[in-house]
Amino acid sequence: MTTPKTVDVSVDAMIDDLRTLVEVESPSRDLDALRKSAETVASVVEARLGGRAELVDSEGGPHVHWSGGGTPRVLILGHHDTVFPLGTLGRRPFRVEDGHATGPGVFDMLGGLVQAIHGLASLDDRSGVEILVTADEEVGSHSSRALIEQRALACGAVLVVEGAADGGGVKTARKGCGTFEVSVAGRASHAGLEPAAGVNALVEAAHQVLAIAALERPEVGTTVTPTVASAGPLDNVVPAAATVVVDVRVESAEEKERIESAFAVLVPQLDEAVLTVRGSIGRPPMPESAAAGLFAVAQRLLPGLEGRAVGGGSDGNFTAALGVPTLDGLGAVGGGAHADHEYLVVTSMAERAHLVAGLVDAIRSV
């Protein structure tokens, strides 16, 4: 493995770029906000790396794609959408205090983007590298999946700059994850005068919740968690409709098939109730085998680096499922993803930037 020709990275410059990205709010599905965010990401990429960052329009918002030229060898993958609604910045502005940077999206995952950009900027040679920053990861990557898979296959290796695991480890395996929605159609009636004339959709939903929860197999890593339910308009009406939303996580393709098959054959327990089931496990599991080779390189570059299997999904699930070597969690060290206490550890930024640079150079040298 060759030693990359690098210059040092500036933490102050990374903090400046992180502030720039955080202060352009980018909630998923807000297309106007996402366009401003994508334009800002592109401007940072171009300023630090040169060349042109292309905006790729989609129904989920603009994705940002940059290439260093030459034969593609490695894809740096991230996203610029966040889970926080417009106005969050006013309540929780970007700050750097006591060694932590805080603000909406610093850990998930704007900090990782900044570190990767500056790590790549430290290399004299940036050929063979592509950066793809998508606009809809937080809501399922429906508009970006095809592009992600295309560029991953073209490059042959993927570095995902999502936030690090607890303690700063990288993510070497992820569960497959998906959402199912079970809708119940019943029949309304007066709850006092003729309750038996109705078909109680809420009672049917209760039967389904118990049946669905029983699909869980924690001993093999499968979790099935009903998370949101709604039914009925008024307290004196037998509800004619109910809906249950279910979060599912699996570690294997076999469990993905079992769960999807089980949802497909759910049957109502009440006469005349009708079920409609939507959803799937959209992100396939990311097995440890997909990360093994790249993780070994990362450990040589940063001795003591740990690898963790985690329950959350990312766009790395898609690339790993294609058989493309994928290492995840290379982004910011910190915590509190999707929460008000989200933070990034500033002292780790330079080390993580150099780790990305070292991985890029190692992949290109093979």
pLDDT in tens, 282-339: 999 999 999 999 999 999 999 999 999 999 999 999 999 999 999 999 999 999 999 9
pLDDT band at 4 (very low <50, low <70, confident <90, very high): very low
Query: CA angle 196-202-206, nearest 5°?
Result: 115
Please give the C-alpha separations between residue 329 and each of 36, 157, 260, 316, in angstroms, as whole numbers.
Answer: 26, 15, 28, 10
What percentage of the chain reaches a pLDDT higher than 90? 97
Query: Per-residue b/e over 182-215, b at no fewer than 16 CB within 10 Å?
Result: bbbbbbbbebeeeeeebbbbbbbbbbbbeebeeb
Q: Is the peptide bond before 14 cis (omega within 30 degrees of 0)?
A: no
Residues 6+ apart with CB under 8 A from 320: 158, 174, 284, 286, 287, 290, 291, 326
Mean pLDDT along residues 146-171: 98
Which DSSP helix (H) or strand (E) runs through 75?
A: strand 74-79
pLDDT at 3 over 50: no
- Predicted structure pTM score: 0.91
pLDDT at 193 over 50: yes
